[in-house]
C-alpha cells in the first residue's frame, strides 16, 4: 500500500473539535455493527467533506482503524485540500474496472487513517455506484477497518447518496441552519430513509457562534485559554 503525506491546512477550532468528539462518541454508542457510515446533506457546501475528514482523524486518534472513502465522484475534494501533489488513483477507476483495490487505498500520516480518493469525474456516477462492484468492494473493506466514513454529494441535488445508502450501515445528515428550508430537509431525510439506510442522526454545521451570546462568551474564554497554552508550549 502506498503512503501519502497529507497536510491539513485548517486552523484548529475548539468548538468544532469538541463537536466532532461528541459526534464520534455518539457513533461509537450506535453499536459495533455500525461500520460503514455515509455523510450527506441537502445542498452543496454545507460542510460534509470537512466533517468526514475531522471525524476520520478523530476516530483514528483514539486507535480505531478508519478508512475515509470519497464517494463524491462528481467533485472529488480531498487531494487538493490535503496538499497531495502527485497523481492518485481513486474510486471511479475501481468501479469502472481500470484498477484494483490495492491501487486505490493509501495509507496516510494521520494515525490509523487510510484514504480512498474519488478519482477522475465519471460521466455516470450514480450508474457506477449502483453496480454490484461497489457493494462487493464495501463488503471487502469492512473486514479491515473499524469504520468506513463515506463522503457523498448532496442528496437534495443528486441521487448518489441514496444509492450508496443501500449498502451502508448508517447515515449522518448534515444541516446548515438558516440555509435549508424545513421542507427541503424533510424531503432529503425521507429520501435517505427510503434507501433503507438507518439515519443515525443529524448534525448542525456552520452555526454562527458570534451571533449567539452563550457561544460567543464561551468562545472568547476558550480562545484565550488556547492561545495561552500555545504560548506556553513554545517556551
Binding site residues, ligand ATP, CB under 6 A: 16, 41, 44-50, 72, 75, 77, 154, 205-206
Give the binding site for Mg ion (CB under 5 A): 48-49, 77
Alpha helices for 30-115 (secondary structure H): 48-61, 78-81, 91-95, 101-104
Q: Which does 206 bind (CB under 5 to 8 A by kind): Mg ion, ligand ATP, none?
A: ligand ATP
Q: Which does 16 bind (CB under 5 to 8 A by kind): Mg ion, ligand ATP, none?
A: ligand ATP
Q: How buried is 123 (Cβ within 10 angstroms: 0-12 exposed, 13-18 middle, 19+ buried)?
A: exposed
Cα–Cα distances in Å, from 65 out to 21, 35, 113, 166, 214? Answer: 16, 11, 6, 23, 36
Nearer to Mg ion, 77 or 185 (CB): 77
Give kind and range of the element (H or E) at residue 214.
helix 213-233
Nearer to ligand ATP, 60 or 154 (CB): 154
DSSP 180: S
Nearer to ligand ATP, 133 or 202 (CB): 202
- Provide, rounded to whole angstroms, the least separation between the CB of residue 151 and ligand ATP: 7
- Provide, rounded to whole angstroms, the least separation between the CB of residue 39 and Mg ion: 9
Q: Which does 70 bind (CB under 5 to 8 A by kind): Mg ion, ligand ATP, none?
A: none
- Per the DSSP assignment, residues forming a β-bridge with 173 are 40, 202
Amino acid at each position: 500500500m502506498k503512503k501519502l503525506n497529507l497536510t491539513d491546512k485548517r486552523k484548529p477550532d475548539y468548538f468544532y473539535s469538541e463537536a466532532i468528539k461528541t459526534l464520534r462518541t455518539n457513533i461509537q454508542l450506535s453499536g459495533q455493527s455500525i461500520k460503514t457510515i455515509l455523510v450527506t446533506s441537502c445542498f452543496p457546501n454545507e460542510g460534509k467533506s470537512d466533517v468526514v475528514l475531522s471525524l476520520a482523524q478523530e476516530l483514528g486518534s483514539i486507535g480505531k482503524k478508519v478508512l475515509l472513502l470519497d464517494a463524491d465522484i462528481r467533485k472529488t475534494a480531498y487531494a487538493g485540500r490535503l496538499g497531495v501533489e502527485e497523481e492518485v488513483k481513486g474510486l471511479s477507476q475501481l468501479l469502472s474496472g481500470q484498477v484494483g483495490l490495492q491501487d486505490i487505498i493509501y495509507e496516510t500520516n494521520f494515525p490509523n487513517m487510510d484514504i480512498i480518493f474519488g478519482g477522475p469525474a465519471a460521466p455516470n456516477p450514480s450508474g457506477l455506484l449502483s453496480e454490484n462492484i461497489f457493494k462487493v468492494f464495501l463488503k471487502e473493506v469492512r473486514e479491515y477497518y473499524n469504520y468506513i466514513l463515506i463522503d457523498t454529494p448532496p442528496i437534495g441535488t443528486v441521487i448518489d447518496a441514496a444509492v450508496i445508502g443501500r449498502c451502508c450501515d448508517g447515515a449522518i445528515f448534515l444541516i446548515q441552519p438558516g440555509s435549508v428550508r424545513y421542507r427541503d430537509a424533510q424531503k432529503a431525510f425521507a429520501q435517505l430513509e427510503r434507501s433503507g439506510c438507518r439515519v443515525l442522526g443529524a448534525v448542525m454545521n456552520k452555526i454562527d457562534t458570534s451571533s449567539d451570546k452563550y457561544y460567543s462568551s464561551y468562545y472568547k474564554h476558550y480562545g484565550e485559554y488556547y492561545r495561552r497554552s500555545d504560548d506556553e508550549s513554545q517556551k
